[in-house]
């Protein structure tokens, strides 16, 4: 679980995470939409469980003459104004052609602003973000393998805390923990009857594009037998997975789905937190459901 929460997969740039999942899930394949798919069993009913790989993140928007990077957000999911403000003064990772490059988002100079009346400055916004990767010119940025549109995420350092380490905090912790539960359930479950399909989807934060393709491909999915793992519900930690009804585009139609969400504290923050016992409950529930239980 910690391994998945430490991974980065900006919407539209899920290939590295997909490669890891392909290695962790023998028999799985990558479809034309970039989803990782595993199918076991045959016949009806056809059960489909989907979990999104991606996260709302950033790409390099431009390189300044001084070698700093500007950012543009990627992903259409609403995350609130604080999501970008959490970047100020924080470490980030830029994924260039030559691998991951560490960087730091700058802050206002306390020396140059000393003595100015408090409250004059607007809150930090993405347009104010300048990333220092140690370069002093555009040529230095190119030498690092960084180009415009290279994906950028907050540096990940998942933390276990609480009594016995029962809590896990990380950006997008609920979504990644749900995928870890699905991965574990898929690795250990063989359907007693029918077909079980597990899909780790691309571009969840671009109108559920990957999930829509997967459901279009699996038009034979039995009605009421599609589960989408959500990004974290507002219920109290310890209440277990929460089930709600939802629907998804699947080509030219919409398909009804069950949305199973993990309760999350501090959602959409760098310390989004899940309770490990909730994650285990979700894993057991998925294993039972994929195995044929109603």
Q: Is 131 left (phi over 0), alpha (psi -120 to 50) or beta?
A: beta
Measured CA to CA, the distance from residue 186 to residue 30 in angstroms comes to 16
Of 207, 214, 178, which Cα lies nearest the Cα of 29? 214
* Domains in the chain, CATH or no CATH each: 2-55+159-290 (3.40.630.10), 57-154 (2.40.30.40)
66 or 239, higher pLDDT: 66
Contact 77, 165 (CB under 8 A): no
pLDDT in the model for residue 294 = 58
Measured CA to CA, the distance from residue 100 to residue 261 in angstroms comes to 31
What's the whole-model pTM score?
Answer: 0.92
User: How large a percentage of the chain has pLDDT more than 70?
Assistant: 95
pLDDT in tens, 93-104: 999 999 999 999
How high does pLDDT run on average in the chain? 92
Q: Is the pLDDT of residue 201 over 70?
A: yes
Q: Is the pLDDT of residue 134 over 90?
A: yes
Is the bond preceding 45 in cis, omega lying within 30 degrees of 0? yes
pLDDT in the model for residue 241 = 92
pLDDT in the model for residue 110 = 67
**Which residues lie closer than 8 Å to 228 by C-beta, 6 or more apart?**
50, 51, 211, 246, 248, 257, 258, 259, 260
């Amino acid at each position: 679980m910690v391994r998945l929460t430490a991974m980065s997969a900006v919407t539209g740039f899920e290939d590295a995470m997909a490669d890891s999942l392909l290695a962790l899930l023998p028999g799985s394949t990558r479809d034309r939409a970039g989803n990782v798919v595993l199918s076991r069993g045959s016949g009806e009913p056809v059960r489909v469980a989907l979990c999104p790989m991606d996260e709302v993140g950033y790409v390099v928007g431009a390189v300044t003459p001084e070698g700093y990077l500007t950012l543009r957000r990627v992903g259409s999911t609403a995350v609130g104004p604080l999501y970008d403000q959490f970047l100020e003064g924080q470490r980030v990772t830029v994924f260039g052609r030559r691998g991951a490059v560490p960087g730091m988002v700058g802050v206002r100079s306390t020396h140059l602003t000393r003595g100015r009346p408090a409250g004059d400055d607007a809150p930090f916004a993405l347009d104010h973000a300048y990333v220092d990767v140690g370069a002093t010119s555009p040529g230095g940025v190119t030498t690092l393998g960084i180009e415009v549109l290279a994906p950028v995420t907050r540096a990940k350092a998942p933390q276990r805390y609480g009594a016995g380490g029962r809590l896990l905090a990380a950006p997008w912790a609920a979504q990644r923990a749900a995928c870890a539960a699905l991965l574990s359930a898929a690795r250990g479950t063989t359907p007693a009857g029918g077909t079980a399909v597990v899909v780790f989807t691309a571009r969840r934060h671009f109108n559920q594009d990957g999930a829509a393709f997967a459901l279009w491909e699996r038009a034979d999915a039995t009605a009421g037998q599609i589960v989408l793992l959500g990004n974290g519900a507002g219920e109290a930690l310890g209440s277990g997975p929460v089930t709600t009804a939802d629907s998804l585009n699947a080509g030219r139609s919409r398909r009804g789905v069950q949305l199973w969400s993990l309760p999350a504290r501090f959602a959409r923050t760098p310390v989004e937190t899940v309770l490990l016992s909730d994650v285990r409950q979700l894993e057991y529930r998925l294993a039972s459901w994929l195995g044929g239980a109603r």
